[in-house]
Structure 1
Amino acid sequence: MRPQDPERRLGAAELGAGLGRRATLVQFSTAFCQPCRATRRTLSDVAGMVDGVVHVEIDAEERLELVRDLDIRKTPTVLVLDAAGRVVTRASGAPRKADVIAALGRACDAP
């Protein structure tokens, strides 16, 4: 997972769902994407384990303007947001659970 522009913020209007109290895992998916299913399970599991963290899945085909704005080039792409909606980390492809947990640690510790 790589760092992202610290000034970029997303909120409920862009995501179509509220932010988590501590962090938000945002997944961009498409219907035909096989790795998106595994990513959905991983992110849902992690969100269920960590208090104050939510998982939001966005259909990339339905949200093309947001996809272009965030330079999403493939699915799945995962953004990890801190409590203020700042993009702390992003990654493409199915993430490992350990990497998601580590990224959440950075997001929850963000000022």
Structure 2
Amino acid sequence: MFGRSNHLKNCPKSVQKSFRTLDFFLPRVKKIHRAEHPELMEVEQVTDELRTILEGGMDTGRTTVLLERLRNLTKNYAIPPDACPAYKNAYKALSQIDAILSTM
């Protein structure tokens, strides 16, 4: 996951920035919270697949499916009561990616 955002050069800068935020926070969140939130493993997998799709050129159909999966996994990016600041930042970044890509 780390260092891959530079391959998103054809995406809007705000999407690139949000992926950099995810690169920083999501591994920490997963390490700390995965026992209580096993969905984080799949969130990371779906996010990696989304990044791969975006790196190769935007496949709108697949992107839509992946964003819908992220919404379902995260309950529309709802912050759990036990969330640390890193968790909040990761979900905020996911929400921003979703908002931007959903309007493209």
TM-score tier by shorter-chain length is: 0.3 to 0.5
In terms of fraction of residues, the more strand-rich structure is: 1
> TM-score under structure 2 normalisation?
0.37
> TM-score under structure 1 normalisation?
0.35
